[in-house]
Amino acid sequence: MRVLLLAPPGAGKGTQGKRLAAQFGVTHISSGDLLRDNIIAGTELGTTVQAYLAAGDLVPDAVIEDLLRVSVVEAAHTGGYVLDGFPRTVHQAEQAYLMAQEEGVALQAVLFLRVPDDVLTARLLARGRGADDTEATIRHRLAVYHAETEPLIAAYQARGLLHEVDGDQPIEAVTAACRDALAQVPV
Ligand code: AMP
In the three-class reduction of DSSP (H, G, I as helix; E, B as strand; rest coil), residue 44 is classed as helix
44-55 vs 31-41: helix axis angle to the nearest 10? Answer: 120
Mutation choice for ligand 1 from 58, 61, 72, 89, CB with most ligand atoms inside 8 A: 58
Residue 129: the pLDDT is 65
Read off the pLDDT of residues 70-89 as tens digits, 9 standing for 90 and up.
Answer: 999 999 999 999 999 999 99
Read off the pLDDT of residues 48-69 as tens digits, 9 standing for 90 and up.
Answer: 999 999 999 999 999 999 999 9
Residue 127: the pLDDT is 81
- For the chain, which ranges sit under pLDDT 70? 129-132, 187
Residue 56: the pLDDT is 92
d(CA 179, ligand 1 centre) in Å: 25
pTM, to two decimals: 0.94
CA atoms of 60 and 67, how far apart (whole Å): 11
Residue 9: the pLDDT is 94
CA atoms of 54 and 129, how far apart (whole Å): 11
Residue 128: the pLDDT is 72
